[in-house]
Structure 1
Amino acid sequence: MTTTARAGQAPSAPPPATTRGDSRAARRLFAVRELGIGLALVLLVAVTTAVNPRFLSGQSRKDLMLGATILVVLVVGQAIVIITRNVDLSVGSVLGLSAFATGKLFLALPDAPIVLAVLAGVGLGVLCGAVNGALIAVARVPALVVTLGTLYMFRGFDYSWAAGQQINAADMPSGFKDMGTATVLGVPVLALFAIVVLLVAGYYLRSYRSGRELYAIGSDPAAARLSGIPVGRRVFAAMVVSGALAGLAGVLYAARFGTLDAAAGSGMELNVVAAAVVGGVAIFGGSGSVYGAALGALLLSTIGSALPVLRIDPFWQQTVVGALILTAIGLDRVLAARVARRLRGRKARGA
């Protein structure tokens, strides 16, 4: 069925189709980035396996998955925050605080159900995330400053609470410790937690309006606010989610390692940010996906496992990670420039 424009009115243009085409073009360009990360991961595994075929033995595969599990859980929350053009540097301290709290819970209640420990860890993380979110969204303090301060504040609480005490694996219930080593169809139970977190976060960001609004906030916070998006609430929620996942990661850390002290998780925040950036989440916000961030976490954890097998000095691991970060930032700029040129070209042709 065709329609004609009324006299004196210009025929309507088709901006929705153009917008969808622009979005698809942008997604294709950034999907190439994630594909490159996946290929780099496959190449690294192939080279390492060629040098030592035992690198992909059953136990080694399990160790690789366990090694990446905690980092993947943390990087999903970090990716959500970075997409909004913020950053959460407190995740390592929240993980340590949650892990030690889990150990203290089992010391006080040896027969406590595992579900209670998970809920307690996540709840503690939510509380820490809410502190960060309130200072950022309500007080309008930059996230870098807030989370750098809470990094030390939460770690200080942890050291004060621990008071030099160490919780040993023998103090943990056997069922909880078994969760750290059990597998389902060859996949570690802890890795299943990471997979569920990844799928839920990816579905939310793609399918829900509030998830898509996080990208709008990261692209241009002022424009998002003028469009009626509740920027403060969305950023607050992103920080709470990051804190909750850091709390969950603390429980998983306790299940995997058993031996806990106040130093658990120290320095992990830098690895988490690095994994997100390497995985294609633009440090300037507005683009990237949790799937790419998870690939970045897998790549970094695999590098850590592969270098000793390849007989490369572990010192070079930090050099490689630093080079990957710089390369990722450079690619972000190149891809952003290509997207901008395509958009300008489409607008020029449509004018």
Structure 2
Amino acid sequence: MSLLKSREAILLGAILVLLALIATRFQGFIAPRNLQSVFNDTTPLMILALGQMVVILTRCIDLSVAANLALTGMVCAMLNVAMPGLPIGVILVVAMALGAFLGAINGILVWKLNIPPIVVTLGTMTIFRGIIFLLTNGKWINSHEMSARFTGFARHDILGLPVLGWIGILVAVVMFVVMARTTLGRSFYAVGGNPHAAVYTGIDVGKTQFLAFVISGMLAGLTGYLWIARYAVAYVDIAGGFELDVVAACVIGGISIAGGAGTVIGTVLGALFLGVVKNALPVVDISPFWQLAISGAAIIIAVAFNARSGRSKGRVILKSAEHAK
């Protein structure tokens, strides 16, 4: 019974209902090949959301993830143009290291200077975009300037699913293990759930938040290369506004904005829900420009749902206390 009431089960049911409704308009949407394509399209959002999940769990927020993605992706593209023979493994390491460094900048400012995370990441979001412009003078890097190996890695099929999709699955599995089985994962929940109690248990709240930003940045960096490789183009405004979708995926998936509550599975389902919506809009004759409005509405509804659930639990606790008297 508790499984049926869980946020993940409700969200999975909502996705299945949504697919069924779309299928009444276009049967081909639920064809296995198309669903695989939808998953592949959603993988960048899923990876970014898993990084954002860790940050939100610690009562912070990272609005610079899309700008991190864009800057890291541009650097990878420029690296490939300058050195076409550079192994993909090296490019992946560079992408994750640069992304982690950019995330660490956010983390240091929040940890050591005690600046509110939303202010820090709004600032770095603009700075990262500005750095891209300074590096390129606003010029694009197009597919014909990139090597076939650079753009082909993310698209290469393994067992019918592109490498991009497999990387998304691998990231989700690793994050699940980290959050469920490691001390670091438990620290993220403890800091978000009750930072004062976390201090008494020996957890460094600031350092834990710093590590959350580093993980978010690293995954944004990884996504930066994968994004550029898949779409074979790099420019200043890549993934502009995508941070809204990332936050929406987390909140829809049950990650509490107040911190300390949420799951990896819920985050993945939240991303998949938005992915299905985004891919279904053209099918049901709705302009894709409505996507931002839908994402914003979904955030408000999900936050309201979370707040209502929290109040309900509070009333149950109070009633239990009254009965105890």
| TM-score, normalising length: structure 1 | 0.87
Query: What amino acid maps onto 1:67 in structure 2?
Result: D
Long gaps (5+) in structure 1 = 1-24
TM-aligned CA distance change 1:228 to 1:193, over 3 Å: same
Contact in 2 for aligned 1:30/1:280 (Cα 8 Å): no
Long gaps (5+) in structure 2 = none
1:162 aligns with 2:130: no
Secondary structure, counterpart of 1:309 in structure 2: coil
Write the deviation string for residues 278-334 of structure 1: whole angstroms up to 9, x where unpaired: 111011111011221111111112101112111224344333323221221111112
Deviates more, 1:311-320 or 1:137-146: 311-320
2: distance between equivalents of 1:173 and 1:110? 6
Secondary structure, counterpart of 1:85 in structure 2: coil
1: distance between equivalents of 2:153 and 2:4? 37
Write the deviation string for residues 168-206 of structure 1: whole angstroms up to 9, x where unpaired: 112222223222322222222101111111111111111
Contact in 2 for aligned 1:169/1:258 (Cα 8 Å): yes
Q: Of the two, which has the highest radius of gyration? A: 1
1: distance between equivalents of 2:5 and 2:175? 18
Residue 88 of structure 1 is matched in structure 2 by: 62
1: distance between equivalents of 2:4 and 2:310? 9
Secondary structure, counterpart of 2:60 in structure 1: coil
Residue 107 of structure 1 is matched in structure 2 by: 81
2: distance between equivalents of 1:323 and 1:112? 44
Residue 62 of structure 1 is matched in structure 2 by: 36
TM-aligned CA distance change 1:346 to 1:29, over 3 Å: farther
1: distance between equivalents of 2:243 and 2:300? 18
Secondary structure, counterpart of 1:284 in structure 2: coil
Write the deviation string for residues 250-293 of structure 1: whole angstroms up to 9, x where unpaired: 01101101111122122111111111111110111110112211
1:178 aligns with 2:156: no
**Which of 233, 244, 253 is residue 227 of structure 2 equivalent to?**
253
2: distance between equivalents of 1:206 and 1:350? 33
**Which of 289, 307, 310 is residue 333 of structure 1 equivalent to?**
307
Q: How does 1:165-244 map to 2 (within 5 A)?
A: 165-244=139-218
Residue 288 of structure 2 is matched in structure 1 by: 314
| TM-score, normalising length: structure 2 | 0.94
2: distance between equivalents of 1:148 and 1:94? 12
CA RMSD of the aligned region, Å? 2.0
2: distance between equivalents of 1:88 and 1:284? 14
Write the deviation string for residues 101-129 of structure 1: whole angstroms up to 9, x where unpaired: 11111111111110011011111101101
TM-aligned CA distance change 1:179 to 1:37, over 3 Å: same
TM-aligned CA distance change 1:140 to 1:100, over 3 Å: same
* Equivalent residue pairs, number: 325
How many Å apart are 1:338 and its aligned residue?
A: 2.8
Query: What amino acid maps onto 1:105 in structure 2?
Result: L
1:266 aligns with 2:240: yes
TM-aligned CA distance change 1:344 to 1:203, over 3 Å: farther
